[in-house]
Amino acid sequence: MNSFEIYTILKDHFGGVGSWWPKDSPFEVVIGAILTQQSTWTNVEKAIKNLKEEKILTPRDISYVPLNKLKYLIKPSGFFNQKAERLKGISEYLLRNYNGDISLLLSKDKVELREELLKLKGVGKETADSIILYAAEKNEFVVDAYTKRLYSRLGNVEEKIEYDDLKKYITTEIPEELTIYQEFHGLIVLLGKNLCKKKNPKCINCPLASKCSFNLKL
């Protein structure tokens, strides 16, 4: 079963999710991409809600807010000491290099943009690709823990496959279209959160169960 078949089955099951990542601004995607590291989206939403209530949602806001207050506001996302430092660092970088206007950064060619993002402290491949796909809205597929779990359980790839290898494997099997990239990632997240869980997966309800090597072992 190739990636486009997986996408089609998940879309038929869950319905269209469009641009799955919730956002009110491109910079909110950056915030979410940092906060979701080693966290669940449910907890990230709590942290973003705190930031919204305090009206701290721009590079300038985050740069100027006291570090301890920022840590307190994003505490629900976990690893708040580290994440607060990373948010401060990115915000200060945007102020220093782009006068706080993230659109100037996001307007760059996606290859150049990815290279620049990966140079920022705390920005790895998944975080960079999330920012490119959902904030810059450029075709850059995101691979996360849900993706690795799904593809390894299906038997398509080894569990310890490298990020870039899995990304290449998937993108060679689906059309290079923004809507599909965004929606497929969102559908995989829905599957991982609700059915294909790390512990106690609900295989009986999974639309991919009949084709899944993991399910056949249960």
Task: Return the higher-pLDDT residue of 211 and 151.
Answer: 151
Convert the pLDDT of each residue in 146-184 to its tens digit. 999 999 999 999 989 999 999 999 999 999 999 999 999
* 208 and 146 in a common domain: yes
Give pTM, 2 decimals. 0.93
What lies within 8 Å, CB to CB, of 134 at 6+ separation is 19, 21, 23, 29, 33, 182
CATH number, domain containing residue 31: 1.10.340.30
Residues of the chain with pLDDT > 70: what percent?
99
Which whole number is the average pLDDT over 187-212?
Answer: 93
- The residue out of 112, 135, 158 marking a domain boundary is 135
**145 HSE (CA, 13 A, CB side):** 11
Residues of the chain with pLDDT > 90: what percent?
88
Indicate the pLDDT class of residue 21, thresholds 50, 70 and 90: confident
The position carrying tokens 């998944």 is 126
Which whole number is the average pLDDT over 178-196?
Answer: 94
**32 HSE (CA, 13 A, CB side):** 25
- The residue out of 110, 135, 160 marking a domain boundary is 135
Structure tokens at 213: 């090597």
* 120 and 212 in a common domain: no
* 104 and 200 in a common domain: no
Q: Say which DSSP state 174 is in.
A: S
Q: Considering only CA atoms, which of 143, 112, 138, 110 is closest in space to residue 126?
A: 143
* 154 and 88 in a common domain: no
Is the confidence at residue 11, as pLDDT, over 90? yes
* 200 and 149 in a common domain: yes
Q: What pLDDT score was predicted for residue 218? A: 57
Radius of gyration of the chain (CA): 18
How many residues does the structure list for the chain? 218
* 82 and 44 in a common domain: yes
CATH number, domain containing residue 158: 1.10.1670.10
